[in-house]
């Protein structure tokens, strides 16, 4: 039988097998174990590491034992230092947090949260690049077909548009058109369809400004950003399942959708390179963003402003980026004066008649 030592301490003990409370002595048995010694009986050895803090009973610390339901031990006397130093700490936050500590747990939680956020942000992009181009082409054909009756076909205007496309070195396979919609905007549809709205041409100060917008949209084509946006906004099932009869609704959803800040930045970078290669000045595009930056402060409602800022680099930043890209190399307008007038008139005298169409423009 183990002899009591100076480190022995009396405990109240339930063994989990009976309801009888005993009052044995806890006697250390080496550095990491102990025995429970009573008159004519010894239990153990038990490992201090297997004890589980269970709070206190009338101010006396109580412990359970791993894998021994009903087993408990409550210290009835002051703890000797040799025993107290080997007992597990009291559980404050839960098993994992208590094992690794509060601040390491906070750090681990923050790291996991960051990985989840990054995953959510990048999954649509990764999924989009796995979608077959045949599916993308079918989606684009359905969507762009809805603009068919609004397509502007004035021959001189079409020729000017083609001249701008060639100057911007638009690659083969991209479908570029102007539609009679009084919206100051442009949109890239799946399958390499780029649509410029007549409102953009009417409000543009120069053809170089339109060229900058076109180059930006071509950047979205090159990076297949529109698919990422569709997956994020509509879900993979809609994209892969094909569009039902509500093509206009999906197109409207695409128009109101936004690309990620990263996608917008990549498209801007593509546009700057394209303008430089075409020897077209980026300053008109910078001026366009300057005007847009002034309009941002007029946005009504903090929610709308925050939503825009979340998806776009600030226009002032984009203005600075395009302005900074202007080098000392000679540039020439992307179209001459006659071509520019022809492009602005591409929709003919009836331009604007589709205002209030079923697409809601």
Q: For residue range 88-109, what is the model confidence (pLDDT) as tens digits?
A: 876 666 666 666 666 777 787 8
3-state secondary structure 135-184: HHHHHHHHHHHCCHHHECCCHHHHHHHHHHHHHCCCCCCCEEEEECCCCC
Residue 45 preceded by cis peptide, ω within 30: yes
**Residue 131: band (very low, low, confident or very high) from pLDDT cuts 50, 70, 90:** confident
What CA–CA distances, in Å, run from 281 to 28, 185, 324? Answer: 85, 21, 11
Q: Who's near 274: CB < 8 A, 6+ residues apart?
A: 168, 169, 215, 218, 219
What's the rounded Cα separation, in Å, for the pair 177 and 151?
7
Alpha helices in the chain (DSSP H): 81-84, 95-100, 102-128, 133-145, 155-167, 198-203, 207-223, 225-234, 236-241, 247-256, 261-277, 283-296, 302-311, 315-324, 337-344
What's the rounded Cα separation, in Å, for the pair 265 and 278?
20
**Residue 361: band (very low, low, confident or very high) from pLDDT cuts 50, 70, 90:** very low
Q: Who's near 239: CB < 8 A, 6+ residues apart?
A: 131, 135, 139, 227, 230, 231
Instruction: Assess whether pLDDT exceeds 90 at residue 218.
Output: yes
What CA–CA distances, in Å, run from 306 to 160, 266, 312? Answer: 38, 21, 10
- Any idea what DSSP says for residue 49? G
Instruction: Assess whether pLDDT exceeds 60 at residue 233.
Output: yes
Contact assessment for residue 185 and residue 200, using Cβ atoms and an 8 Å cutoff: yes
What's the rounded Cα separation, in Å, for the pair 64 and 50?
8
- Residues 155-171 have a mean pLDDT of 95
What's the rounded Cα separation, in Å, for the pair 119 and 84?
45
Could you give the percent of the chain with pLDDT greater than 70?
Answer: 73
- Residues 295-314 have a mean pLDDT of 48
Q: For residue range 177-207, what is the model confidence (pLDDT) as tens digits?
A: 999 988 888 888 888 899 999 988 988 899 9
**Residue 31: band (very low, low, confident or very high) from pLDDT cuts 50, 70, 90:** confident
The number of CA neighbours under 13 Å toward the Cβ of 85 is 7
pLDDT at 309: 41
pLDDT at 311: 47
pLDDT at 272: 95
- Any idea what DSSP says for residue 6? T
Comparison of pLDDT for 277 and 7, the residue scoring more: 277
Q: Full-prediction pTM beyond 0.75?
A: no
pLDDT at 236: 56
Q: List b or e across 306-328, with b for residues whose CB sees 16 or more CB atoms inside 10 angstroms.
A: eeeeeebeebeebbebbeebbee
Greatest mean pLDDT range, 245-249, 284-288, 351-355, 356-360? 284-288
Contact assessment for residue 189 and residue 195, using Cβ atoms and an 8 Å cutoff: yes
Mean pLDDT of the chain: 79
């Amino acid at each position: 039988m183990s002899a009591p030592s100076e480190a022995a301490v009396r405990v109240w003990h339930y063994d989990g097998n009976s309801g009888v409370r005993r009052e044995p002595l806890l006697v250390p048995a080496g550095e990491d174990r102990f025995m429970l010694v009573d008159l004519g009986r010894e239990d153990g050895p038990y490992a201090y590491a297997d004890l589980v803090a269970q709070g206190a009973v009338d101010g006396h610390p109580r412990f359970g034992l791993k894998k021994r339901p009903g087993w408990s031990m409550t210290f009835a006397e002051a703890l000797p230092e040799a025993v107290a130093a080997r007992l597990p700490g009291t559980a404050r936050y839960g098993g994992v947090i208590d094992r690794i500590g509060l601040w390491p747990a906070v750090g681990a939680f923050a790291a996991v949260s960051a990985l989840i956020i990054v995953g959510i942000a990048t999954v649509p992009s990764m999924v989009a690049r796995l979608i077959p181009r045949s599916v993308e082409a079918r989606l684009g054909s359905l969507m762009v077909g809805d603009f068919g009756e609004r397509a502007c076909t004035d021959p001189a205007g079409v020729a000017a548009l083609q001249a701008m496309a060639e100057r911007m070195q638009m690659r083969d396979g991209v479908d570029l058109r102007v539609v009679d919609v009084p919206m100051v905007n442009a949109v890239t549809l799946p399958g390499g369809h780029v649509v410029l709205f007549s409102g953009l041409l009417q409000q543009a100060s120069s053809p170089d400004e339109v060229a900058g917008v076109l180059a930006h949209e071509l950047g979205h084509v090159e990076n297949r950003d529109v698919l990422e946006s569709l997956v994020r906004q509509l879900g993979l099932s809609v994209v892969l399942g094909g569009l039902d009869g509500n093509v206009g609704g999906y197109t409207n959803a695409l128009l109101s959708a936004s690309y990620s800040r990263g996608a917008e930045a990549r498209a801007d970078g593509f546009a700057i390179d394209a303008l430089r290669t075409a020897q077209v000045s980026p300053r008109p595009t910078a001026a366009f963003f300057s005007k847009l930056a002034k309009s941002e402060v007029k946005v009504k409602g903090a929610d709308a402003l925050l939503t825009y800022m979340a998806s776009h680099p600030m226009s002032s930043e984009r203005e600075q980026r395009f302005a900074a890209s202007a080098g000392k190399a000679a540039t020439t307008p992307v179209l001459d004066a006659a071509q520019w007038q022809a492009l602005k008139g591409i929709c003919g005298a009836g331009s604007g008649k589709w205002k209030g169409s079923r697409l809601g423009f």
